[in-house]
Homo-oligomer: A and B are copies of this chain.
Amino acid sequence: MDPFMQAAIDEAQLGLAEGGIPIGSVIVHDGKIIGRGHNRRVQEGSAIKHGEMDALENAGRQPARVYRDAVLYTTLSPCSMCSGAILLYGIRKVIVGENQTFMGEEELLRSRGVNVEVIDNHTCVDMMKGFIASKPELWNEDIGE
C-alpha cells in the first residue's frame, strides 16, 4: 500500500471513530505530507469541510508553485466542491481510493488537464459501503441529496 493513501485511510478511520463520515485526504509535496484531514460535517457541524477541504485548510496558505507540484490523495472520488478546489489551486495530480460508492467530478478534472488515478482500494470501498448502509441520511446530506 502506498503510504500516502494509507495516511488518507488513517484519516478516514479517525473520522469514523469520532462518529463522523469516513473520508480522508492528504496533500503531498516533495515526498512529504503538507496537509492532512478528514470530513468534519458531524464533528464541527461543517458544510464545507469534506476530507479534501480539511486537508487543504490544514496545509495552510501555500504559494501557487507548491500546489502545482502537489499530489492530493483522497479515499473517495472528489465531489464538485473538492474538485473545484483542486482546479482553483491548480493541483495537477489526484489519487483516488475508490469511485464505486460515489462518482465525483473526475471527468471535469480530466477535461481541465488534471491527472486522476483511481486505485480501486477495497478498504476504501468497504469503509464507505459500511458507512452508507449504517447512516444513509447523513451520507445524503454530505452530497447534497
Residues on A lying within 8 angstroms of B by beta carbon are: 41, 45-49, 53, 56-57, 59-64, 67, 79-85, 87-90, 105, 108, 140-141, 143-145
When distances are taken between beta carbons in the complex, the residues of chain B under 8 Å from A60 are 45, 47
Does A61 contact B45, Cβ atoms closer than 8 Å? yes
Which residue of B has the minimal Cβ distance to A83? Answer: B84
**Chain A: interface secondary structure?**
helix
- With contacts A81-B81, A144-B67 taken as known, whether A62 is within 8 angstroms of B47 at the C-beta atoms is yes
Q: Which of B49, B59, B145 contacts A47 (CB 8 A)?
A: B59
Instruction: Determine the distance from Cα of A144 to Cα of B59 in the docked complex, in whole angstroms.
Output: 14
Q: Which of A59, A67, A144, A145 neighbours the largest number of chain B CB atoms within 10 Å of its CB?
A: A144
